[in-house]
Amino acid sequence: MTSVAHQIMWNRLISVVEEQAQALIRTAFSTSVREAGDLSAGVYDEKGRMLAQAVTGTPGHVNAMADAVAHFMREIGVHTMAPGDVYITNDPWMGTGHLHDITIITPAFHDGKQVGFFGCTAHVVDIGGRGFGADGNSIFEEGIQIPIMRLRDKGQTDGTLIAMLRSNTREPDQLIGDIYALAACNEIGQRRLTAMLSEYGLPDLSTIATFILDNSRRATLERIAALPQARASSQMVIDGYATPITLAVTVETHGTHVSADFTGTSAPDPKGINVPMVYTKAYACYALKCAIAPDIPNNAASLEPFHITAPENTIVNVTRPYPVALRHVIGHLIPDTVYGALDQILPNTVPAEGAGALCNFQVSLRNPATGERSEVLCFNSGGSGARRALDGLNATAFPSGVMTMPVEATEHAGPVIIWRKELRPDSGGPGTHRGGLGQYMEVGARPGFVFEFSAMFDRVNHPARGRDQAGPGGATSVVLSDGTVKGGKGKFPVPEGLTVRLAFPGGGGIGDPRNRPRDQVQRDLALGYITPDSARTFYGLTDPEIESATA
Amino acid sequence: MPNASARYERPIDPDATSAPLHFPRAHDYRPLMTEYANLGVDIGGTFTDVVLETADGMVSTKVLTTYAAPEDAILDGIAQVCARLCLTPDMITRIIHGTTLATNALIERRGARTAFITTEGFRDVIEMRTESRFEQYDLNLTLPLPLIPRNDRHTVRERIDASGDILIPLERSEVEALADRLRGVASVAVGLLHSYLNHAHERLIRDVLIERIPGVSVSLSSDVSPQMREYERFNTTCANAYVKPMMQSYLGRLRARLAENGATCPIFLMHSGGGIISIDAAAEYPVRLVESGPAGGAIFAAHVARRYGLTKVLSFDMGGTTAKICLIRGGTPKTARVFEVARSYRFKKGSGMPISIPVIDMVEIGAGGGSIAHVDALNQIRVGPESAGSEPGPACYRRGGTRPAVTDADLTLGRLDPAAFAGGSIPLDPVASQSALMAHLGERLHMDALTAAFGLSEVVDENMANAARVHAVENGEDLSQYTMIAFGGAAPLHAGRLCEKLGIDRLIVPPGAGVGSAIGFLRAPYAFEATRSVYMRMDAFDRDTVRDLFASLRDEATAFVRSCDATATIEADYKVYMRYKGQGWEIPVTLTRGLAEHPTAPGFLELFEAEYSSLFGRTVAGMAVEITVWAVNATTPTADPVPVTPTPPRSPVLADERPLFNPASASMVRAAEIHRKRLTDGALIEGPAAITEDETTIIVPAGFTATGRADGCIDVERIT
């Protein structure tokens, strides 16, 4: 086998998992998958080592997917696996962190021999229980739990499981549709793998696995060896549900690996914002990889040198039965925490703090006269933190990579009216490099409807901090149109005729705003990214300069 | 190669095929007025291609594109082809034109100062995009700037809801006040929420603007792209407005200059959907001209497909910078509703701007003859999307390029004759190729130059093969049943290997491959597709609404076609986009005319389920189905091409020998070499072989044969 052939096969495997992911996006029902890209897909060798993973909108699945197959091999028993088998789970600790993520693993066979696995995960729209939100007091309130088990046994679908799932969830057709879509996307991967092995006359994946993993490990270790060896700690306080939470981390570069340990982080929260370790690992590892080895694809070997740990019974490493439905709100803030420490080790590399968590909300609408009901879920982004040589990104998610839904599509999904969705001036933290702008939204209902609003926001009381004398980003606010101020998390009713006015957070800046080039401040002013007031107060623009920019 | 002329398609008259074409001399002979003299013009980034076709055959030329005044190159080219057929421009009966000018203006941001007017609360839709990052791991990612900056985006108080009902009426006085502030702006785009359902407010704005700003050009989203999803619709409208003044002025100048030179015939424009429209319609909707060149290439391939009666064809067009792949089924290229232009980040999906107009569905990847290779941190060879272009060009051009490009690999592997490239006008230096390959790949990876060249070539072929596979999967197709049609300068060098990788058994390389797009323009029908977003659940299917909707779309589309041809029969194709309620991706469902005129819910459902199951292998029982987009394509019928009947192959022709790399043995082997001219109808040669011509070389892999055909095509087939 020549090196050229190995290179081609590696490319091919990456293409196969991308294909798998595309097939899933096109056939899935849940908005979170098809519009937002909340899914992942991967291929594994027969030892369960991940060889390639599709790059999708969810860093949260990065390590989770890499670890998942080992759990299935242990629970199902490798010797019992047969062609036509499909396995399933939504276990938050062995899958990807909450019950809404369904993971499907399919063993891959070639010439009668098991050669590996295909896996994929997607966020489904409903899994029963209280519904998607922070309000659960334990995992048992958050939905039906599917332990690692067979969905199909030698081609035979488990009708009992399907019936149980149907009767325990609110949108059974969509859920079952999504599960079948997941299984089908693994089949596509399996077919393409068989074709590749036949083309190259290979009995299994072992030689190509060695090539992929050796090269990835070597390249990752080279990057880590080039880092200064140091240790640094950092803390970030965030809103939490009812009481503030401290996220603490110590990052250390060892020459042979990088560690991040979350000792010092707050205890678990009574409500569903806790994070299983697998999800903490994913976001911490994602943050480190972006800064240290961004171009090296994710696989077992390239993830191996990143050691993520946290003491049990902290909010970033909870055990069953803590509620975990909204683990993303905390999980999305882990990269900012890690970067606080990494910035001390690797100067001029990482961004300032940003909005962090996606600004998602769910609206439950009801027409009291007709009894008509509707659920609408919205994904939105605040601003990202300033970079060392660039401003932050306006209304663009980091670390999550999911997409927002078009307002016109949202308004077709239910009797909701989005009155406003536009950039929020002055919300980017003032700095030599400005934080990205957050956004304003205003949400109401069509005449005749009342609604409940389920908030899933952070950074109300703890806006994104700037670095090196720069200012913070704008804080989140949730206010009814009659002036009533609401909190960042939980569900509340909105009286008929009123709207919810939302201001989503901006990113922190980097560097003293007085050092920001004058022409950039004037451009920001001309574009309305900042107001004359802040041009004067933070950036020290004179009145004539302000006038010339706004003329 | 500038000013190189070649004669391509031979006349269909079978008696004439074996004899060389008669070239009349200008002084002593002037031909009788032939029935037609159709001229196709494709303005590309480097060359302007001109082809002239009469009943006697076809001539073509390539002229360097003249950026400052693109019409100069056209007139130059016309003069050349007319001279060769002893015609004068007044004898041209029809001109069909396609151009990348609109695309380039969008990429290079050279459009007019444009204002955008939108609904209050939504000033930033085109700037906020999808709120996501198209590259997950790049901390220093920058997003493309919006086409129209924030201070040129204005809002008005108004609101229409998702049923098309007015929640807040628009006050005329507010628009008047805004119009007065917009004086000095050349072009205005108007995009209001849900205007695809109700265009009243957009039209009011248009009326006020035209009244108050003399000479202003206005583009309404409800006209340009009446489809749901505000980011795509607004951006498409802004793009239209942005290029409109420039394209209007260019098309006006072109018409005048052509007339001055005697060419007073009708002028038509190729659009991205693969049809042609009048010059006036093109000036109104210039965004529809984006990607017209590649669309012409797909039409060219479709015409070859029909000549050979092929129902499943993969067209493969590979030039200097990019490769384009398109599926052609039943002689018609597959179409889509949205595509992306001006990708700013390594051709990455999401890094450009979406344009939602009917378009031939093509995958474009950064892989061409000039694509440059390097070794990454993983010791993997990477190729493209960076291209050496024509300046400095690949290392072997000896024009200052030092990094290895695909052409350098092709030369090293024996696929190109160093003395015969571009008809001998560009001598190639194999030593320079080898040095570049060694310096950038071989020394890093401990490979000799030959292995490095093979690695480079395999990587670029694999990239293209992967793109083709993913595209096929997305369309529920199995490529092993397909025939490939290859054109463009670099395609014949790589098509054979690509067929091997994709399990394709037959490859056709038509003549005129270097000016395929311009030839395609001559084969395109007059066509216009009208689309509209209207939601309809199948359990609330309303026959009268459906009938009325189709009638109105048909009238709109037909009117555009009628303006091109006052008498031709016009056919209408009806299509709806359907999905299970809850899904985000619609699939196109083509309706029969009967079903469109007498719609029934079961009829629609049956077609949807058949299509869904052919794409995804199953249907989903118990789920509600809905229609989201409606489309009518009005088109004039295209004449069926004269079918080519393959002559039984004769025993292999005598050929020269040359060394050529054989991928199966990973070594140089002795291969046959023959000039394309010698592969006449029925003449056969066995691979490995190199079939040479002025512009390129067709590489026939081992295990394949190549046979000449009556129409000048080379038919490459796997030996079974």
Question: Is A274 inside a domain boundary?
Answer: no
Q: Are A408 and B194 within 8 A, CB to CB?
A: yes
Instruction: Select from A12, A35, A394 the Cβ nearest to the Cβ of B466.
Output: A12
Residues in chain B where the model's pLDDT stays below 70? 1-34, 346, 390, 582-584, 617
Q: Are A406 and B149 within 8 A, CB to CB?
A: no
Q: Are B617 and A11 within 8 A, CB to CB?
A: no
Number of compact structural domains in chain A: 2
Q: Determine the residue among A408, A446, A524 to mutate to test chain B binding: the one whose Cβ has the most chain B Cβ atoms within 10 Å.
A: A408
Please list, residue by residue across B607-623, b when 16 or more beta carbons sit within 10 angstroms of its beta carbon and e when fewer do: bbbebbeebbeeebeeb
Residue of B618, B362, B325, B533 lying closest to A26 (CA atoms): B618
Q: Are B583 and A27 within 8 A, CB to CB?
A: yes
What is the C-alpha separation between B698 and A104, in angstroms, rounded?
Answer: 46
Q: What is the mean pLDDT of chain A?
A: 93
- Collapsed DSSP state (helix, strand, coil) of residue A358: coil
Residue-wise pLDDT tens digits, A192-241: 899 889 888 899 999 999 999 999 999 999 999 999 999 999 999 999 98
Q: Are B138 and A389 within 8 A, CB to CB?
A: no
Q: Which chain A residues contact residue B376 at CB under 8 A?
A: 295
Residue-wise pLDDT tens digits, A321-345: 999 999 999 999 999 999 999 999 9
Distance from CA of B614 to the nearest CA of A (A): 13
Using a CB–CB cutoff of 8 Å, tell me whether A420 touches chain B. Answer: yes
Residue of B526, B40, B523, B95 lying closest to B275 (CA atoms): B526
Tell which A residues from 104 to 123 touch B, by Cβ distance under 8 Å.
none
Judge if ipTM > 0.90.
yes
- pLDDT on residue B589: 94
The confidence band for A32, taking pLDDT boundaries of 50, 70 and 90, is low
Instruction: Select from B124, B474, B620 the Cβ nearest to the Cβ of A423.
Output: B124
CB B688 within 8 A of CB B660: yes
- pLDDT on residue A76: 97
The confidence band for A5, taking pLDDT boundaries of 50, 70 and 90, is confident
pLDDT at A291 over 90: yes
Which residue carries 């509209």 as its tokens? Answer: B532
Helices A3-27 & A172-200, crossing angle to 10 degrees?
A: 160
Question: Is A9 inside a domain boundary?
Answer: yes
Question: Is A324 inside a domain boundary?
Answer: no
Distance from CA of B553 to the nearest CA of A (A): 22
Q: Which chain B residues contact residue A442 at CB under 8 A?
A: 121
- Identify which has the larger pLDDT, A472 or B105: A472
- Largest Cα separation within chain B, whole Å, is 82
Domain around A22: 3-217
Q: Are B143 and A401 within 8 A, CB to CB?
A: no
- pLDDT on residue B342: 79
Distance from CA of B584 to the nearest CA of A (A): 6
Tell which A residues from 433 to 452 touch B, by Cβ distance under 8 Å.
439, 442, 446
Q: Are A527 and B150 within 8 A, CB to CB?
A: yes
Question: Is A229 inside a domain boundary?
Answer: no
Question: Is A106 inside a domain boundary?
Answer: yes
Question: Is A124 inside a domain boundary?
Answer: yes
- pLDDT on residue B1: 36
Q: Which chain A residues contact residue B666 at CB under 8 A?
A: 2, 4
Give all domains of chain B, ordered by start, each with its CATH number.
5-106+249-289 (3.30.420.40), 110-244 (3.40.1360), 292-367+460-523 (3.30.420.40), 371-458 (no CATH), 527-635 (3.30.1490), 656-718 (no CATH)
pLDDT at A496 over 70: yes
Could you tell me how far CA A38 lies from the centroid of its own chain? 7
- pLDDT on residue B584: 66
Instruction: Select from A125, A223, A412 the Cβ nearest to the Cβ of B535.
Output: A412
- pLDDT on residue B21: 32
- pLDDT on residue A34: 67
Residue of B682, B327, B295, B638 lying closest to B485 (CA atoms): B327
Total CB pairs under 8 A between chain A and B: 203
- pLDDT on residue A370: 94
Q: Which residues pair with B375 in a beta bridge?
A: B381
Using a CB–CB cutoff of 8 Å, tell me whether B184 touches chain A. Answer: no
Q: Are B459 and A8 within 8 A, CB to CB?
A: yes
Question: Is A230 inside a domain boundary?
Answer: no
Of all helices (H) and strands (E), which one includes residue A540?
none
Question: Is A232 inside a domain boundary?
Answer: no
Instruction: Select from A29, A397, A407 the Cβ nearest to the Cβ of B230.
Output: A407
Angle at B363 between CA B362 and CA B366, to 5 degrees: 135
Q: Which chain B residues contact residue A55 at CB under 8 A?
A: 136-137
Which residue, A189, A217, A245, sits at the end of a domain? A217
Instruction: Select from B120, B150, B474 the Cβ nearest to the Cβ of A22.
Output: B474
What is the C-alpha separation between B333 and B327, in angstroms, rounded?
Answer: 6
Q: Which chain B residues contact residue A30 at CB under 8 A?
A: 582
Which residue, A217, A242, A274, sits at the end of a domain? A217
Which residue, A157, A189, A217, sits at the end of a domain? A217
Tell which B residues from 136 to 155 touch A, by Cβ distance under 8 Å.
136-143, 149-151
Q: Which chain A residues contact residue B139 at CB under 8 A?
A: 290-291, 294, 349-351, 387
- pLDDT on residue B25: 32
